[in-house]
Amino acid sequence: MSNAPIGFESTDHPVLAIEDLTVSFDGFKAVDKLNLYVQRNEVRVVIGPNGAGKTTVLDLICGKTQATSGSIRFNNHELTKMSEHAIVRVGVGRKFQTPSIYENLSVFENLEMSFPRGRKVFGALTFKRTADVVARVESVAAEIFLDQHLYTQADLLSHGQKQWLEIGMLLMQEPELLMLDEPVAGMSVSEREKTAQLLGRISQGRSVVVIEHDMDFVKSIAHKVTVLHQGKILAEGSMDKVQSDPKVIDVYLGH
Amino acid sequence: MMGLLILGVLLLVVFPLGLDIFRLNLVGKYLSYAFVAVGLVLCWGYGGILSLGQGVFFGVGGYCMAMFLKLEASDPISTKIQSTPGIPDFMDWNQITSLPAMWQPFHSFSFTVLAVLAVPTLLALIIGTAMFKRRVGDVYFSIVTQAIAAILSILIIGQQGLTGGVNGITDLKTLMGWDIRTDSAKVILYFVNAGLLFACILFGRYILTSKLGRLLMAMRDKEERVRFSGYDVASFKVFVFCVAAMFSAIGGAMFTLQVGFMSPSFVGIVPSIEMVIYAAVGGRMSLLGAVYGTLLVNFGKTYFSETFPELWLFLMGGLFIAVVMYFPNGLAGVYEKQGKKLMAKFSRKKAAPPEPAKPKAAAKTDPTDIHLDGANLEASK
Amino acid sequence: MVSLSEFFAIFAMQGFNGLSVFCVLLLMALGLAIIFGQMGVINMAHGEFLTIGAYITYLLSHLTTTYAPSLQPFYFFGAVVLSFIVAYGFGYLTELLLISRLYKRPLDTLLATWGLSLAMQQTFRSIFGAKEVSATLPDWLLGSFKPTENIDIPINGLFMMVLTLLLTGTIFILLFRSRWGLQVRATMQNRVMSGAVGINTRKVDRTTFALGCGVAGVAGAAFTTIGSTGPTSGSLYIVDTFLVVVFGGAQSLIGTIASAFSIAQTQSTAEFFLTGSMAKVLTLSAVILILMLRPQGLFSVRVRK
C-alpha cells in the first residue's frame, strides 16, 4: 500500500503538540526534551529499539505517567495538567500493549461500557440500554469483525480478537486522537492484513499514533514515521527516508 | 426474585408468628446489624472496598437517635432530682450544668432523622474522597478505616460528659410520646426494621443491576481500563462507600430504637470487623446472603456464648479462616454450587445447550438471588 | 506559660519516658515492615506474637523467682532469646499453614489473620487466665539515671534502647549484607525470576514471615517492662504499628524507624499537655491526615511500573 501522505496537510495547528517533554525516573531520563507534532488525520508510527521511550510517550499523553517538565497540547487542552479520565473525555483514546478488556463481560457489554454516556455516577445509575446504544454497539462490532460474537464472553476470544475488541472499545468513545501500542503483536498474517484495513478505515477523520515493530505493517499504514532512541527523536519522515537514514540503520539493526 | 420472597416470608411471617416477643426483639437486633452487612456487599463484594470501620457509621446513626430519645427522656419533670434538671443524667453526674450546643438540635425528630441519614454519608464522602482521589491502595484504606474506628471510639469514651462515655447512652423511654419499651412497640419496631431492610436491599439491587453495578465489577478487576474509558473511578467508589455508610447508619438508629441504648462498644475496631464476617459468611456477593449470614453468626454467638463461652472466640476465629480459605463466596456461593448440581441433575434430559440469551434491560445476573453465576462473579479479593 | 528551657526539659523527659514505648513500637513496626513491606502480607495477628513474647517473659520470671532465685537477675536475657525463638517458630507454622495458601490475596489474608488473632487471644485466655499478669523486673533494670537536675532517664528505657539498636542493626545486616537478605529482596522484587534462578521462594517467604514474628516476640519481652500482660495486650499496638509502617513507606526500613520515632514522640509530648486518650486521637488523626496528603508514605522510590 502506498505511504504517500494522503488526506492531511502540515499546518501551523497540529492536533497534538508535544514540546520539551521530559520525564525522569530517579534520575534516568526515559523521555528527554521531546518535540513531536501530529497533524489532523495523520497516521504517525513511532518506532525504535526497546527502551527507547515509546510506550512512555503514550503513557505521558494519556496521563498514566506524570511528566517532569514540558507540555503536551491537544487541541486547546494542556494534557499534562489533566487526570486520565478527563483526557479520555476530551477525545484521546489509548490502546494498551496487552489487551486490556473486561474478561468477565460479553463483547456487547465491553463495547457498551465505552459508550460515552452515563460516565458520571448518576448517569451510570440511570443509564438505559436504548436503541441508539444497541445500534452503535452493533455497528462498531461489525467494523472490528466481531459482529458474530456479540454475546461471547470476552475471555473466550482469541488474542487477535481481543486486540480488535479493545480497538472497538476505543472507537465507541469517538476519539479524535487514537493511540495504539503494538496493535498487531501476536497476530497471524491474515489478522495483520485485516487490522491494517481496519486502521485504514478508522483513521479517516482521526489522528492516529501507533507504536509498532512489524516493519511491513508500518509501511502499509504510516503517513510519517518517527524513530525514537533513548528518549529523543533520532529521525523523522517517510518510511523510505527513515529506513535509509544511516543513524537509524546504525542503532536499529533492522530492515 | 424467589430468594427475596423466601426471605420476606421468613422475616415477616415465620419469625413473628413463631417466636416470642423476647426472641423476636433479638432477631430485630440482629437484623439491624444486617444493614451493615448489606452495605458491605455493595462496597466490599462488588466495589472491592474493604472497610473495617463500618461501626463508625452504625454508631453515628445510633448515637443520633439515642440523643433524640435521651433528650425526650430527660424532661425537667422526670429529672427533677438532678442538680440540673432537664439534661441527661450522665451529664449531671459529670457536673455539667447546661445542655451542650451539639445536643440542642436533637430536640427535633425531623432533624434527628436527617442527621441519621446525612451525617454518616457526609463523613463517608469526606473520607472516601480523601482516600480514593489520592488513589490510596486497598490495604492502606482498610488500615485507615480501622484507625478511624479506633479514633472515634476513643473520642466517645473519653468525652464522658458529652457522650455518656464507656457506658453509652442508656435509659431510653419514649419516641415522641410512644413508649418503645412495651411489647407491642417492639413488634411494631421489628416490622419497621424489616421493612427498611428490604428497602435497602431493593435499592442495592437497583444499583447492582444498573450500569453502575457493572462498572463496580469492572473496576474491581481492571481499574485502569475503566479509568481509560473515561470514568472517574474515585467517584464511583465514593458513591458506593457512602451508600454503605448510610445503610449502616439506618441500622444503628433502628438498633437504638429496638434495644433502648447505644454505646461505644459498637463503634470500634472489633465490632466493625465482626460485621465484616457477617457479610463474608453469608456471601459477600449476595445481598440476601448478607442477611442470612448476619442471622446465623449472631444466633451462633448467642448460643455459644451462653453454653460454651470459651469456645466462641475460637469458633469465630476459625470462621474467619474457613470462610476466607474455603468458602470465599460464603453460604450463597455454597448454595449456588449445590443448587447448580441439583439443576444439572434435573435437566440431564435436555440434549441441546441453551442458546446465549440476548441481553434484556436488566443484566442477566440478579444479585438478590442467591443463585449467582460463580464463574462471572468470583470474589477475587 | 512554660519557658523554653522548661519546654525542652519536658520534651526531653517525655522523650525518654516514651523511650520504652518507642522501642516496643519500633520493634513491632520493624517486624511488620519485614512482613508487609517485603512480602505484602497483612498480619493482623502481629500483636499476638508480641503477647507470646510477653507471656514467655512472665513465665521465665515466675519460674526463676519460684524455683531458682539465684538465676532471677539473669532471666531477662534468656527471656529475650526464648521469646524470639518461640515467636519465630509459631510464625513459621502460621506461614506454612495459613499465609502461604492466601498468596496474592492481601485483603483475605487480613481477614484470615484477624481470625487467627481471635483464636490466639482465646488460647492465652484459656492458658493464663483473663487477668493481667506481670513479670518481676530484675533489680538492675529498675531505677533511673540522672545526667542533669531536670532530666531523669529510666534504666530499663536505656536497656530497651540498646536492645532495639542491636536488633535493628542485626536486621539491617541480615537484609542488606547477607545472602539470605539478598534472596528476600530478590523474591520481593521479582518472584518469578527469583524462582527461575533457583531461589526457593516458598522457603524465603516462610523464614521472612517467621523473622518478622520473632522480632515481635522480642517486642513482647520489652513490653513487660512497661506494662502488665493480658490476652489482649497485643491488640493495643496493632493499629499504631500498621500506621507506623504505612506512614514510613512500607518498603523502607529507614522510613519505618523515622516514622516510629516521630509517632512515639508526638504521642508522648502530646500526653503531657492533653489527656492520654486525646493525645492518642491527636496522633492518629495527624498520621491519617498526612497519609492522605502523601499516600505512599514518607520515604518511597519512584519507579516505572
User: Can you spell out the DSSP letters for B150-183?
Assistant: HHHHHHHHH-HHHH-GGG-B----EETTEETTSH
The DSSP H or E segment spanning A234 is strand A232-237
Q: Per the domain annotation, does B316 fall within a domain?
A: no
Give Cα separations from A75 to A16, A56, A176, A204, A208 (angstroms): 7, 21, 10, 18, 14
pLDDT higher than threshold 90 for residue A40: no
pLDDT (average), residues A239-248: 86
Q: How confident is the model at residue B363 (pLDDT cuts 50, 70, 90)?
A: very low
Share of chain C above pLDDT 70, in %: 90
Contact C207, C93 (CB under 8 A): no
Give B-chain residues touching C239 at CB under 8 angstroms: 143, 146-147, 150, 269
Condensed to tens digits (0 to 9), the pLDDT of residues B333-354 reads: 888 888 777 777 776 655 444 4
The residues with which A23 forms a beta bridge, in sequence order, are: A31
Q: B221: distance to nearest CA of chain C, Å?
A: 13
Q: How confident is the model at residue C11 (pLDDT cuts 50, 70, 90)?
A: low
Q: Say how far residue C164 (Cα) sits from the centre of its chain.
A: 10
How many residues does this entry show for chain C? 305
* Residue of chain A with shortest Cα separation from C304: A25
Share of chain A above pLDDT 70, in %: 94
* Residue of chain B with shortest Cα separation from A166: B225
The span from the CA of B72 to the CA of B70, in Å, is 5
Condensed to tens digits (0 to 9), the pLDDT of residues A129-168 reads: 889 899 999 999 999 999 899 999 988 999 889 999 999 9
Contact C231, C128 (CB under 8 A): yes
The DSSP H or E segment spanning A228 is strand A224-229
Q: How confident is the model at residue B53 (pLDDT cuts 50, 70, 90)?
A: very high
Q: Do C275 and B158 touch (CB under 8 A)?
A: yes
Share of chain B above pLDDT 90, in %: 54
Q: Which one of B140, B154, B321 has the shortest CB-CB distance to C116?
A: B321
Q: C301: distance to nearest CA of chain A, Å?
A: 8
Q: Does B215 touch chain A (CB under 8 A)?
A: yes
The span from the CA of C248 to the CA of C253, in Å, is 8
Q: Of B86, B60, B85, B54, give the one whose Cα is nearest residue B71.
A: B86
Q: Do A124 and B210 touch (CB under 8 A)?
A: yes
Q: Per the domain annotation, does B329 fall within a domain?
A: no
pLDDT (average), residues B285-303: 93
Q: A136: distance to nearest CA of chain B, Å?
A: 15
pLDDT (average), residues B306-334: 88
Q: How confident is the model at residue C152 (pLDDT cuts 50, 70, 90)?
A: low
pLDDT higher than threshold 90 for residue B55: yes
The DSSP H or E segment spanning A77 is strand A77-78
Condensed to tens digits (0 to 9), the pLDDT of residues A70-118 reads: 999 998 899 999 999 999 999 999 998 888 888 888 999 899 988 888 8
Looking at per-residue pLDDT, the higher value among B347 and A177 belongs to A177
Give the pTM: 0.87
Give C-chain residues touching A30 at CB under 8 angstroms: 304
Q: Per the domain annotation, does B49 fall within a domain?
A: yes
Q: A102: distance to nearest CA of chain C, Å?
A: 20
The DSSP H or E segment spanning A22 is strand A16-25
CATH number (1.20.58.740, 3.40.50.300, 1.10.10.10, 3.90.550.50) of A10-91+175-182+207-255 reads: 3.40.50.300
pLDDT higher than threshold 80 for residue C139: no
What is the reported pLDDT for A9? Answer: 55
Q: Do B134 and C292 touch (CB under 8 A)?
A: yes
- The total of other beta-carbon atoms located within 10 Å of residue A235's CB is 21
The span from the CA of A197 to the CA of A220, in Å, is 9
List, in order, residues 6 or more apart from B204 with CB less than 8 Å away: B38, B41, B42, B243, B247, B287, B367, B368
pLDDT (average), residues B83-92: 86
Looking at per-residue pLDDT, the higher value among C5 and B323 belongs to B323
Q: Per the domain annotation, does B159 fall within a domain?
A: yes
Looking at per-residue pLDDT, the higher value among C66 and B291 belongs to B291
Sign of CA dihedral A186, A187, A188, A189: negative
What is the reported pLDDT for A82? Answer: 92
Here the cell at position C8 is: 525542652
Sign of CA dihedral C168, C173, C176, C181: negative
Residue C108: strand, helix, or coil: helix
What is the reported pLDDT for C10? Answer: 67
pLDDT higher than threshold 90 for residue B191: yes
Domain tally, chain B: 1
What is the reported pLDDT for A5? Answer: 46
- Residue B260 has φ and ψ, to the nearest 5°, of 90, 10
Q: Does B361 touch chain A (CB under 8 A)?
A: yes
Condensed to tens digits (0 to 9), the pLDDT of residues B364-377 reads: 444 444 333 333 34
Class of residue A81 by CB neighbours under 10 A (exposed 0-12, middle 13-18, buried 19+): exposed
For cell 458520571, name the residue: A120
Here the cell at position C278 is: 486525646
Contact A178, A207 (CB under 8 A): yes
The span from the CA of B76 to the CA of B81, in Å, is 9
Contact B42, B208 (CB under 8 A): yes
**Residue ranges, CATH 3.40.50.300, chain A:** 10-91+175-182+207-255
Residue A232: strand, helix, or coil: strand
Phi-psi region of A225 (alpha: psi -120 to 50; beta: other; left: phi over 0): beta
Q: How confident is the model at residue C299 (pLDDT cuts 50, 70, 90)?
A: low
Contacts 24+ apart (CB under 8 A), A54-59: A54/A181, A54/A211, A54/A228, A55/A97, A55/A181, A55/A211, A56/A23, A56/A30, A56/A31, A56/A231, A56/C304, A57/A18, A57/A21, A57/A31, A57/A228, A58/A94, A58/A179, A58/A181, A58/A209, A58/A211
Number of CB pairs, chain A paired with chain C, less than 8 A apart: 9
pLDDT (average), residues A172-194: 89
What is the reported pLDDT for A57? Answer: 92
Condensed to tens digits (0 to 9), the pLDDT of residues C38-66 reads: 778 889 999 999 999 999 999 988 888 88
Q: Do B230 and A88 touch (CB under 8 A)?
A: yes
The residues with which B179 forms a beta bridge, in sequence order, are: B174
Q: How confident is the model at residue A121 (pLDDT cuts 50, 70, 90)?
A: confident
How many residues does this entry show for chain B? 381
Q: Do B316 and C275 touch (CB under 8 A)?
A: no
Q: Does B161 touch chain C (CB under 8 A)?
A: no
Contact B290, B37 (CB under 8 A): yes
Contact B290, B278 (CB under 8 A): yes
pLDDT higher than threshold 50 for residue B82: yes
For C36, which DSSP code? I
Q: Do B324 and C102 touch (CB under 8 A)?
A: yes
Condensed to tens digits (0 to 9), the pLDDT of residues B213-246 reads: 989 988 888 888 899 988 999 999 999 999 999 9
Residue B337: strand, helix, or coil: helix
The span from the CA of B252 to the CA of B246, in Å, is 10
Neighbours of chain C (3+ CB pairs under 8 A): A, B
Q: Does B212 touch chain A (CB under 8 A)?
A: yes
Q: Of B331, B294, B260, B299, give the one whose Cα is nearest residue B19.
A: B299
Phi-psi region of B135 (alpha: psi -120 to 50; beta: other; left: phi over 0): left
Class of residue B349 by CB neighbours under 10 A (exposed 0-12, middle 13-18, buried 19+): exposed
pLDDT higher than threshold 70 for residue C300: no
Q: Does A62 touch chain B (CB under 8 A)?
A: yes
Chain A from 188 to 227: CB within 8 A of any B CB: none
The span from the CA of A134 to the CA of A173, in Å, is 14
Give C-chain residues touching A25 at CB under 8 angstroms: 302-304
Residue-range definition of the domain harbouring residue B73: 2-271
Condensed to tens digits (0 to 9), the pLDDT of residues A129-139 reads: 889 899 999 99
pLDDT (average), residues B123-135: 91
The span from the CA of C152 to the CA of C160, in Å, is 16
- Residue A34 has φ and ψ, to the nearest 5°, of -80, 135
Residue A231: strand, helix, or coil: coil
The span from the CA of B88 to the CA of B72, in Å, is 9
Q: Do A120 and B207 touch (CB under 8 A)?
A: no
Here the cell at position C126 is: 484459656
The span from the CA of B62 to the CA of B250, in Å, is 8
Q: Of C51, C130, C37, C52, give the one whose Cα is nearest residue C86.
A: C52
Q: Which one of A26, A56, A65 has the shortest CB-CB distance to C301?
A: A26
What is the reported pLDDT for B121? Answer: 96
Mean of the per-residue pLDDT values of chain B? 86
Q: Amino acid identity, residue B289? A: G
* Residue of chain A with shortest Cα separation from B240: A121
Q: Which one of C111, C123, C243 has the shortest CB-CB distance to B276?
A: C111
Contact A125, A157 (CB under 8 A): no
The span from the CA of C20 to the CA of C141, in Å, is 12
pLDDT higher than threshold 60 for residue A254: no
The DSSP H or E segment spanning A94 is strand A92-95
- Residue C274 has φ and ψ, to the nearest 5°, of -120, 175
Condensed to tens digits (0 to 9), the pLDDT of residues A43-68 reads: 999 998 887 889 999 999 999 998 99
For B95, which DSSP code? T
Share of chain C above pLDDT 90, in %: 23
pLDDT (average), residues B278-284: 92
What is the reported pLDDT for C85? Answer: 95
User: Can you spell out the DSSP letters for B231-273?
Assistant: --HHHHHHHHHHHHHHHHHHHHHHHHHHHS-B-GGGTSHHHHH
